[in-house]
Amino acid sequence: MSLVEILPETHDVEISIRYATADNFTAQPVYQRAGCYLHPEAEGLLLNAIELAAALSLKIKIFDAFRPSEAQWVLWNHTPDPDFLADPRRGSPHSRGAAVDLTLLHPNGQELEMGTPFDAFTPRSHHGNLEVSVEVQRNRVLLMGLMTTAGWDFNRNEWWHYQLFDARRLPVLSDSVLDRGMM
């Protein structure tokens, strides 16, 4: 299966692949090379979301997209928490190229306040959490509205995670599907 590479130049997004850095919940790089790839169907929905965000003078910033199955095992072995991570034996939507982790940027390039960092494994990260400020609630609703209008499904536990409906119909993919591996 061929995945589509998502680049700032071709998709008008900012990309900050956190698992290629130590700025993630493992505190160590998981990927040896940053890469942002999606299944062609997911890329189409991302293009919809980019257009909707641009109409509001906002931009999308991507933290993760395709996650090779090898990386899913690294994350699971570090923190086997089924409330926030897919068990790699079942496969993650990320490992199918069918999920994206992201946020929105103001026209000045600053991230909208979402109340927790990306990958904060806490109930404060849940959509609908009323313990976060009204501004954060509005920003999360804005992100969810934009993404669901673009055709994405959401994860109730993670304000940053969006995936294709019925993502599990797609095969789990390893790093070997990429011309230049990430692992």
Residues carrying an active site annotation:
158
The set of residues, in sequence order, having a beta carbon less than 8 Å from that of 120 and lying 6+ positions away, is none
Strand boundaries in the chain, DSSP class E: 4-5, 14-15, 37-38, 59-64, 99-105, 153-155, 158-163
For residues 69 and 92, give the distance between their C-alpha atoms in angstroms, rounded to a whole number: 8
Cα(72)–Cα(176) distance, integer angstroms: 14
